Amino acid sequence: MHIAVPFFTVIFLVLIAYAGIEAAHLHVLFGIVIPYAAFTVFVLGFILRVRNWGRSPVPFRIPTTCGQQKSLPWIKASTVENPSSTFGVIVRMALEILFFRSLFRNLKTEMHEDRVVYGSAKWLWLAGLAFHWSFLIIVIRHFRFFLGDIPFVLEMVEGLDAFLQIGAPLLYTTDIIILGAVTYLFLRRVAIPQLKYISLAADYFPLFLIFGIALSGVLMRYFFKVHVVGVKTLTMGWLSLSPVIPENVGVIFYIHLFLISVLLAYFPFSKLMHVGGVFLSPTRNLINNNRMKRHVNPWDYPVHVHTYEEYEEEFRDKMKSVGLPVEKE
Amino acid sequence: MTLRDSLSERKENIIEKWFERIIDTYPPDTSRFLKDQKDRFANPVGATISRGLEGIFEEILKDEQDQAKVSKFIDNIVRIRAVQNFNPSQAISFIFLLKNIIRDELTVDVLHNHNADELLALESQIDGLALTAFDIFMNCREKIYEIKSNEAKDMTFRLLQRANLLKEKQNHVADDMNDVTQ
Amino acid sequence: MAKLPKPEELAKVDFKPPKTGWMDTPANLKPGTFCWGAKAKNLQVVDFPNARDWNPTEDDWKLPKEWEGTVLEAMADRLSKYRSFKLFLDICVRCGACADKCHFFIGTGDPKNMPVLRTELLRSVYKKYFTNSGKVLGKLGGARELTYDVLKEWWYYFYQCTECRRCSVFCPYGIDTAEITLMAREFMNLLGLNTDWISGPVSNCYTKGNHLGLEPHTITSSVEFFLDDIETITGIKVEPTFNRKGAEILFVTPSGDLFADPGTYTAMGYLMLFHELGLDYTWSTYASEGGNFGFFTSNEMAKRLHYKIYAEAKRLGVKYIIGGECGHMWRLIHQYLDTWHGPADFLEVPRSPVTGTVFENACSTKMVHVTEFTADLIKNGKLTLDPSRNDHLKLTYHDSCNTARGMGLLEEPRYVIRNVCNHFYEMPENTIREKTFCCGSGTGLNASENMELRMQGGLPRANAVKHVHEKYGVNMLANICAIDRATLKASMDYWVPAVGVTGVHELVGNAMVMTGEKERTQDLRLEPLPGEEGNE
Ligand code: SF4
Ligand code: SF4
C-alpha cells in the first residue's frame, strides 16, 4: 500500500503529461502555466515554511554535545563537536550539511568476535552523500539553460562530470550515480525490515518521483536526443517572462518538465524540507556556551514556587531543635 | 560413524537452525532485528544467543562435558529471557528445540548407522540441560525479586539507622535488616 | 489424551504478531515494563490537573472530559513555543539511522522503541490535526486520529524513553527524541497521567526541598552518621555547616546520596574533600536537591523546583555554587537554570579559593561541577593522593547521558579517576563518551515495579561492562550520577554480579591523604583496605 500508491501515482503523472501533450496538445499548459505555478508554489511555500519555523522561538539552548566541553584551559576541548564559539558552530554545521557528519558516525569500525567489521550503515552515508551531491551537480548543470553565455565555472563542472569521455553526447557520471543511489535508497527501504516497518508513502513517493525525473532526463539526453536549442528557447523565454512554445521538442521533455513541476510544488509540504530545516536544528546550530552566556527565553513567565519563608514556617521548630539557623525566631 | 561425528559434521547447519527457531519465538518485528545485527554491542540479545548456542553445542559434542561451562552459556541466554516476559516454560523451551532439529537432521543417519541408542542418550542429555536451564531461570527470577526488595531496603536502611533501630551501625548486612523488620 | 503442546508452540510468545502496521497495533502493557499511576495527593500538592488515584492496568484511566481537546490545544501551544518540537516533527526523513541506537530498542526489540517510531507515535497525530497533507491523505500520509488507544500507546512508550539523547547524536538533522518525549509527557501531565514514582518525589521536593522528603533535622542527622563513619576511618572530626549565611560557597547535590548506598559513600567523599581544603562552604536543607523529577512531568514544574538553588544562594549571600555528581541535575543547571532563574548577578564568577583558578566557563551560571573543581585541585597539586588505597579496584567509567551529551563533561572525571586509582580501563568506544549507553532507568523510570524494563534497557550498558569485566577483570563501575549509583547497582547485580558501583568522589575520599589522619585500615565502606584484610 505504502509502496504501490506512490508508485502508481508517479506512473499516472507520466501518463498525464504524455496524454496532455500527445493527445490534447496542451503545450502551453505543460510548458508554461504549470512550470510557472509550480515554481511559485515552491518559492512561496519554502519561504513560508521556513518563516513558520522561525516564528517558533528557541526557548532553551540545547545543543547535543558530541565531544569535550571547554572548561579548564589544560583540558583539550573539542571545538567542532562541542563548539564554544560561532566559528565552531559554522564548521560543525558545514560538516553536517556538506559531509553528513552524523551519519558518518555509524561508519566507525566495530569489533565483532575479534574481527573488525564495518557497520552496514556506511552504505547509508555513502548513498546519501552520492545522491545529494549528484543532485546538486545536476541542478548546477541545468543552469546552462538559463544563462546566455555559459560561464567558465559551469563548463568546468560539466567537464569534470563528463570525465569518463564516453558516448555522444558525453556521459555524465552524476546521471549514473543518482539513478544508482536512488535505487539503493529504495531497495534499502524494502530490504531492511525495520526500515520497511517505519516507511510511509511519503518516503517512497519522492524516491519514485526523483527516479522518474532522472530517468526521463537520461532518456532525453542520450536516447531521444531532444532538440536542445528548442528547450533553451523555452527556458530563456521563462526568464524573460514572455515564453514561447518551441517547435519540435519531444514529449519526453514535457514529461521531464511535468515531473519536476510536481516535485517543486510538492517540496514545501513534505519531508524534503529537511533541506531548509537542517540549518535550523537547535541541537546542532547552537553554541555550547551555556554557563558562559545567558540564553533568554522570550516566552518565559513567572511560576509558583515554594519560598524559603514558607519552608521555614513549616519546619522552624524542627530546625531549631537541631541548631539550624532560622530567619525568624 | 558415531552420532557425535554426524553432529559435528552438521554443526553449523544445526546451530543456524536452532538460532533461527529461537529467534522465531520473538514477535516478528523483534526477531528481524535480532537476526540482522551480529555486533556484540549493537545487538547484545542476538549476539548472546548465537554465541551461547554455539558454546552449548560444542560442549555436547565432547565426551566429557564441562558442566560449569555449559551452565555459563545457558545462563547467558536464560538471563535475558527471564526479563523478557516469557513464562518459565517459554523461557527454557529453546533447549528442547534442539531435540527436534537433531531428529530432523539425523534420522536418516541414525537408521543407516544403527546408533539409535546414542540418539536416546543424547536426548536425555538435552533433557538434563533443560533442567539446568530451569534452575537458572528460577535463580534469575529470584534475583529480580531480591533486587526489588534490596532497593526498598537500601532506601530504608539509613532511615532505620537514624531511628537507632539498628543494633550495630557497622553491620551493613541484610540479616540485621531482617531482625529489624521482623 | 489431550494433546500436549510442542516445544515450538510453547516457545511462542503469547503476544500476537502484529499483522497490521504499527499504527493499528495498540500497545500491550506487559507486566514489569511500566510504573504505577500517580496518587491524587501528590498531584494536589503541586496543583497538577486531574488529581485522582488511577491504575494503568484498568481500562478506565479516569481521564478528564474533552481530553482530546486539551491535548491538541497544548500541542498547538508547544508548537508555537518550541522550534525544536515543530522542526523535529517536520523534517524527519525516516532514514533509520537512529533506529538501532536506543538502549530500549536494543534491549526489548520492540519496534516502537526505535526513536524514529517513538516520535512517529506523536508525529502521526500532529500530521492529522496540524498539517494539510495529513488532513487530506490520512493514513496514507502517515496521519491518524488521537484516540484512547493512541493515548495509552503514548503513555506506555514515552515512559520507555529516558531522554538520553543518544539517538540525536546519530541523526543527520540532530533530531532529539528527548524533546518529543518531554512534550508528550507534558501533554499527559495535563490529563493527570503521571507515574507514582515521579510525582511522589516532585511533591516532596516542592515542599520539603528534596525528592526523598527529608526534613531539615533528618538531613543533618543523616550527615552526622557519615561524620561518625569518617571519624572511625580517619580519626578526623569533620564539621560541616548547614544554612550558614556568609559562607563563600553553597554546595548542592542530589538527596539520593544522603540516603542510599553507594551514593552515601560519595557524600562522605565530598565531606572529606571540603574539610581537607578548609573550604568556607555550606549545605542547605532548603535547597537540598540538585536533581529535578519535575523535568519528567513538565518544563514549568522543573522550573518551579529548580528555583530554590539560586534563591538560597541569594539568601545566604554566598559567592558561587558547587554542584555535586548528578546527571540530569547537570543537564538542567547547564542548559536551563540560567534561562529559568538568571541572571545570577548577585553571585560572583567562581574562583577556586585553593588554586585561584577562575572558572570562566561558568561565568554566567556561577555553578561549578565538582569534578571540574577537583580536577583543578589535582592538576595544581593541592591534594596528597595515595591511589594504592584503591588498588583492590579495577575501574571502568560510565558517562552519564546528561553530562556527556548535554554538556560534554568527559575528561574531568576521567582525569580525577586516573589520579586516584591505578587500574582504569575504558569500555568499548561505541559505548562511552557521546555514544554512551543509558543506565536504562533515567527520567524517573527507576521504580521497582518496572524492573524487567529496567533490566532490558540496561542490557546494552551492562553488556559493555561485562566485556571489560571478562577482559580486564574490572570489578567497579564509576560514574558521576546519583541515579546511576542506584540503578546501575541493580543492573550490575543482575547482569554482571561481580561488579560494584561507585561515585568518583568516593574514590577521591579513599585516595586522599588528610592532614592529621590516623593510619587508615578501612575504606569508606568500612571494608578493609588492600593489604589490611588480615588485620580485622
Ligand atoms: S535519524 Fe533522524 S531523520 Fe533519520 S529516522 Fe531517525 S530521527 Fe528521522
Ligand atoms: S532519547 Fe534515548 S531513550 Fe529516548 S528514544 Fe532516544 S535513544 Fe531512546
Query: pLDDT by residue (tens digit) across A110-132?
Result: 444 444 344 546 788 889 999 99
- Give me the half-sphere count of Cα atoms (radius 13 Å) on the Cβ side of residue B138: 5
Q: Considering only the beta carbons, identify the residue of B37, B85, B90 that sits closest to C11.
A: B90
Residue B38 confidence (pLDDT): 59
Distance of CA C98 from the midpoint of ligand 2 (Å):
9
- State pLDDT tens for residues A221-233: 888 888 888 888 8
Torsion angle, alpha carbons of C164, C165, C166, C168, to 10 = 170
Provide CB contacts within 8 A for A166, sequence distance 6+: none
Q: Could you identify the atom of ligand 1 that is nearest to the CA of residue C119?
A: 7
* CA triple C72-C73-C75, angle to 5 deg: 60
What ipTM goes with this model? 0.90
Question: B50 to chain A: nearest residue by CA?
Answer: A113
Q: Is A307 exposed, middle or buried (0-12, 13-18, 19+ CB in 10 A)?
A: middle
For the Cβ of C102 lying below 6 angstroms from any atom of ligand 1, the answer is no
pTM (predicted TM-score): 0.90
Q: Name which residue sits closest to atom 3 of ligand 1, judged by CA.
A: C92
Q: Give the mutation target among C114, C116, C119 for probing the ligand 1 site: most ligand atoms within 8 A of CB.
A: C116
How close is the nearest chain C Cα to the Cα of A28, in Å?
Answer: 29
How close is the nearest chain C Cα to the Cα of A292, in Å?
Answer: 5
Q: Considering only the beta carbons, identify the residue of B27, B94, B140 that sits closest to C11.
A: B94
> Does A192 contact chain B (CB < 8 Å)?
yes
Which of residues 74 through 103 in chain A touch C, CB cutoff 8 A? 74-78, 81-82, 96, 100, 102-103
Residue C12 confidence (pLDDT): 47
Distance of CA C92 from the midpoint of ligand 1 (Å):
5
Residues from chain A contacting residue C140 (CB–CB below 8 Å): 1-2, 5, 200-201
Please check whether residue A329 lies inside any domain of the structure: no
Beta carbons of C222 and B40 less than 8 Å apart: no
Provide CB contacts within 8 A for C287, sequence distance 6+: C209, C250, C252, C308, C309, C311, C312, C313
Residue C8 confidence (pLDDT): 54
> Does A193 contact chain B (CB < 8 Å)?
yes
Distance of CA A220 from the midpoint of ligand 2 (Å):
47
CA distances to A300, C225, C358, C390, C512 from C527, in Å: 51, 17, 38, 12, 17
Please check whether residue A249 lies inside any domain of the structure: yes
Those chains having 3 or more beta-carbon pairs within 8 angstroms of chain A are: B, C
Residue B114 confidence (pLDDT): 73
Please check whether residue A99 lies inside any domain of the structure: yes
Q: Determine if residue B17 is left, alpha or beta; phi over 0 gives left, psi from -120 to 50 gives alpha, anything else beta.
A: alpha
Q: Could you identify the atom of ligand 1 that is nearest to the CA of residue C171?
A: 1
Residue B136 confidence (pLDDT): 93
Report the C-alpha gap between C263 and C250 in whole angstroms: 20
The domain limits of chain B are: 3-140
For the Cβ of C98 lying below 6 angstroms from any atom of ligand 1, the answer is yes
Q: Considering only the beta carbons, identify the residue of C83, C132, C359 that sits closest to A56.
A: C83
Residue C139 confidence (pLDDT): 85
Q: Could you identify the atom of ligand 1 that is nearest to the CA of residue C177?
A: 7
Residues from chain B contacting residue C525 (CB–CB below 8 Å): 172
Q: Which amino acid is at C220?
A: T
Distance of CA C9 from the midpoint of ligand 2 (Å):
34
Domains and CATH numbers, chain C: 12-31+49-193 (1.10.1060), 202-535 (no CATH)
- State pLDDT tens for residues B23-70: 887 776 676 667 665 566 677 888 888 888 888 988 888 878 888 888
Structurally, chain A folds into a number of domains equal to 1
- State pLDDT tens for residues A75-110: 999 999 999 999 999 999 999 999 888 888 875 444
Q: Compute the count of residue pairs across chains A and C with CB atoms less than 8 Å apart.
A: 284
Q: Which amino acid is at A237?
A: G
Report the C-alpha gap between C74 and C298 in whole angstroms: 12
Residues from chain C contacting residue A202 (CB–CB below 8 Å): 133, 141-142
Asked whether the predicted pLDDT for residue A195 surpasses 50, the reply is: yes
Mean pLDDT of the A269-293 span = 93
The residue to which cell 525528592 is assigned: C211
- State pLDDT tens for residues B61-106: 887 888 888 899 999 999 998 998 888 888 888 888 888 888 888 7
Please check whether residue A328 lies inside any domain of the structure: no
Q: Give the mutation target among C98, C100, C161 for probing the ligand 1 site: most ligand atoms within 8 A of CB.
A: C98
Helical H segments across C362-520, by residue range:
370-379, 401-405, 411-420, 451-472, 482-495, 504-511
The residue range of the domain holding A148 is 4-321
Q: Considering only the beta carbons, identify the residue of A111, A113, A194 that sits closest to B33.
A: A194
Ligand nearest to the CA of C93: 1
pLDDT tens, chain C, 536 aa long: 445 555 555 444 433 334 567 888 888 888 889 999 999 999 999 999 999 999 999 989 999 999 999 999 999 999 999 999 999 999 999 998 898 889 999 888 888 999 999 999 999 999 999 998 888 888 888 899 999 999 999 999 999 999 999 999 999 999 999 999 999 999 999 999 999 999 999 999 999 988 888 899 989 988 998 999 999 999 999 999 999 999 999 999 999 888 888 899 999 999 999 999 999 999 999 999 999 999 999 999 999 999 999 999 999 999 999 999 999 999 999 999 999 998 999 999 999 999 999 999 999 999 999 999 999 999 999 999 999 999 999 999 999 999 999 999 999 999 999 999 999 999 988 889 999 999 999 999 998 899 999 999 999 999 999 999 999 999 999 999 999 998 999 999 999 999 999 999 999 999 999 999 999 999 999 998 887 765 54
Report the C-alpha gap between B116 and C52 in whole angstroms: 67
Three cell numbers at C11?
A: 516457545
Please check whether residue A309 lies inside any domain of the structure: yes
Q: Which among C479, C511, C493, C523 has a CA at the least distance from the CA of C257?
A: C479
CATH number of the structural domain spanning residue A252:
1.20.950.20
Report the C-alpha gap between C282 and B126 in whole angstroms: 64
Helix (H, G, I), strand (E, B), or coil: what is residue C35?
coil
Residue C340 confidence (pLDDT): 96
Question: C218 to chain B: nearest residue by CA?
Answer: B162
Q: Give the mutation target among C112, C159, C167 for probing the ligand 2 site: most ligand atoms within 8 A of CB.
A: C167
Please check whether residue A327 lies inside any domain of the structure: no
Residue B37 confidence (pLDDT): 57
Distance of CA A106 from the midpoint of ligand 2 (Å):
17
Beta carbons of B40 and A112 less than 8 Å apart: yes
Tell me whether the omega of the peptide bond preceding residue A169 falls within 30 degrees of 0, making it cis.
yes
Report the C-alpha gap between A68 and A64 in whole angstroms: 12
Residue C11 confidence (pLDDT): 47
Question: C76 to chain A: nearest residue by CA?
Answer: A56
DSSP code string of chain B: --HHHHHHHTHHHHHHHHHHHHHTTS-HHHHHHHHH---TTT-HHHHHHHHHHHHHHHHHHSSS--HHHHHHHHHHHHHHHTTTT--HHHHHHHHHHHHHHHHHHHHHHHHHHT-HHHHHHHHHHHHHHHHHHHHHHHHHHHHHHHHHHHHHHHHHHHHHHHTT--S-TT---HHHHHHHH-
- Domain B3-140's class? mainly alpha
Which of residues 222 through 251 in chain C touch A, CB cutoff 8 A? 242-245
Q: Name which residue sits closest to atom 8 of ligand 2, judged by CA.
A: C102
How close is the nearest chain B Cα to the Cα of C452, in Å?
Answer: 5
Distance of CA C166 from the midpoint of ligand 1 (Å):
12
Beta carbons of C430 and B143 less than 8 Å apart: no
